[in-house]
């Protein structure tokens, strides 16, 4: 399944929903999830209240799409599955539903929800290509305020997508292709605004997320994405892992790879925030 959906296709899907809930009230089988989030703010919920895609429900990345642990677990570790399931039910998700996730940062935060739901066994989820800007540019309406939805009954269980711990990430760097999708200057160790040490996991390859996004905020066409990944040593047979700063943007790399027709790579949820907080882990600097 194509992991992306266009604004026009989403508008058409929303206009065709006629399903009814077991309680007898009209209920859409398509849930739209607003995952606006930026490191350092402003709060996504405030932006949601100003205007969102009709029927959308706000999803808080920090509290619903991430857990909390030790520094060596990273800044955005995976939430316990029971917590994710409870959150998903509060969004109105039920088994058999479809979901579309969006943000206002070219999918880099919405992809976290996409990846988590896929990892937890909810397969029918897509990312709005180009996000809220694409919706508005296509003439889509926005509605203000909060959204209230009937709770769903979705059942979730982790284990559907490959994940890496620190040891496995090091092994992929040595034996396969470990993509570091942070900005190049962070990879090289020239700057580090968040984590305790600058640099990258030894053996990793610099693959900035920005290189997969076009000037219109949408993912590059599949052929261009495939060419980019091939230049990084990635093909359908390669053993591939991805990481970023805290595990959020790495999900966007997984999205881009599937959009390119490649297998979804193994993701290191702790990413460099976990790695750099462990003094026993070596850190490399420079272009390689």
Catalytic residues: 244
Question: CB of 203 within 8 A of CB of 174?
Answer: yes
Question: CB of 242 within 8 A of CB of 179?
Answer: yes
Nearest-angstrom CA–CA distance, 223 and 220: 8
Report the candidate in 100, 99, 97 with the shortest Cα–Cα distance to residue 132: 100
Q: Alpha-carbon torsion 217, 269, 255, 202, what sign? A: positive
- What six digits make up the tokens of 178? 């470990």
Rounded to 10 degrees, what is the CA torsion of 282, 68, 127, 41? Answer: -90
Residue carrying structure tokens 């799409």? 65
């Amino acid at each position: 399944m194509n992991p992306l959906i266009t604004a026009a296709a989403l508008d058409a899907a929303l206009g065709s929903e006629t399903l009814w809930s077991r309680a007898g009230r009209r209920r859409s089988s398509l849930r739209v999830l607003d995952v606006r989030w930026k490191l350092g703010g402003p709060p996504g919920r405030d932006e949601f209240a100003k205007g969102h895609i009709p029927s959308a429900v706000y999803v808080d990345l920090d509290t619903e799409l991430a857990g909390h642990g030790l520094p060596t677990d990273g800044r955005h570790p995976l939430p316990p599955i029971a917590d994710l399931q409870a959150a998903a039910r509060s969004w109105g998700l039920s088994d058999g539903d479809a979901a579309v996730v969006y943000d206002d940062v070219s999918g880099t935060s919405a992809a976290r929800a996409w990846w988590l739901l896929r990892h937890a066994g909810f397969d029918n989820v897509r990312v709005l290509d180009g996000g809220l800007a694409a919706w508005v540019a296509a003439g889509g309406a926005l509605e203000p305020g909060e959204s209230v939805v009937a709770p769903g009954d979705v059942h979730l269980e982790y284990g559907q997508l490959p994940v890496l711990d620190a040891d496995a990430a090091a092994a992929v760097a040595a034996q396969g292709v470990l993509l570091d999708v942070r900005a190049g200057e962070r990879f090289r160790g020239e700057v580090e605004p968040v984590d305790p040490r600058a640099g990258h996991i030894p053996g990793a390859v610099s693959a900035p997320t920005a290189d997969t996004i076009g000037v219109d905020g949408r993912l590059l066409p599949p052929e261009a994405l495939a060419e980019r990944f091939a230049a990084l040593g990635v093909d359908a047979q390669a053993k591939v892992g991805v990481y970023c700063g805290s595990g959020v943007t790495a999900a966007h790399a997984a999205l881009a790879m599937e959009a390119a027709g490649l297998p979804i790579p193994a993701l290191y949820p702790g990413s460099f925030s976990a790695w750099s907080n462990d003094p026993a882990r070596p850190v490399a600097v420079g272009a390689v």
